[in-house]
């Protein structure tokens, strides 16, 4: 279970890197510290790009059943840096089957909060890795 969560966080870190962000802290990291709570909410990643910061959050099936998810998304999407008051972006990672549900939740946020949220699909690569291993084991020539 922890290995699966680690892979999901790794995939969200990849999305940060594609956007040009460097990871400052992350859950399940080897060398980086775990991110602290922001307000009363736990986050998975904190990243930085020059003077801009971003928060990474993974939403699981249990999170969608939680009644304070809208409050959590609203709070995290309206964060600003302490001294410069720059907007902090919120990157939300969800499994493919929950992507549409996450997008509809984001539409419920205020227009100002919605501008700072980006939703990414996270795929379960373990099924793809098993298929590629099976393909490698097939012998075409002997």
17-48 pLDDT, tens digit per residue, is: 998 999 999 898 888 888 888 888 999 999 99
Token pair in block for residue 67: 């009644």
Where the chain has pLDDT below 70, the residues are 1, 124-142
Q: What is the pLDDT of residue 128?
A: 47
Report pLDDT for 136: 56
| Cα–Cα distance, 3 to 6 (Å, whole number) | 5
Instruction: Give this prediction's pTM.
Output: 0.79
Q: Where are the beta strands (DSSP E) in the chain?
A: 22-26, 45-49, 52-59, 89-95, 117-122
| DSSP 8-state symbol, 31 | S
Per-residue model confidence (pLDDT) at position 29: 81
Q: Give the per-residue pLDDT at 127.
A: 47
Domain 2-137: give its CATH architecture.
3-Layer(aba) Sandwich (3.40)
pLDDT of residue 117: 92
Q: Where are the domains of the chain?
A: 2-137
In the prediction, which pLDDT does 51 show? 87
């Amino acid at each position: 279970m922890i290995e699966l969560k680690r892979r999901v966080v790794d995939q969200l870190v990849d999305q940060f890197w594609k956007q040009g962000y460097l990871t400052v802290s992350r859950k399940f990291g080897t060398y980086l510290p775990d991110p602290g709570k922001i307000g009363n909410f736990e986050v998975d990643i904190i990243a930085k790009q020059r003077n801009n910061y971003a928060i990474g959050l993974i939403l699981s099936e249990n999170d969608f059943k939680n009644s304070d998810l809208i409050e959590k998304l609203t709070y995290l999407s309206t964060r600003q840096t302490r001294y410069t008051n720059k907007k902090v972006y919120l990157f939300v990672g969800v499994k493919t089957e929950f992507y549409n549900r996450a997008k509809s939740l984001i539409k419920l946020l205020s227009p100002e909060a919605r501008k700072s949220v980006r939703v990414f699909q996270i795929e379960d690569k373990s099924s793809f890795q098993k298929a590629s291993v099976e393909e490698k084991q097939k012998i075409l020539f002997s």
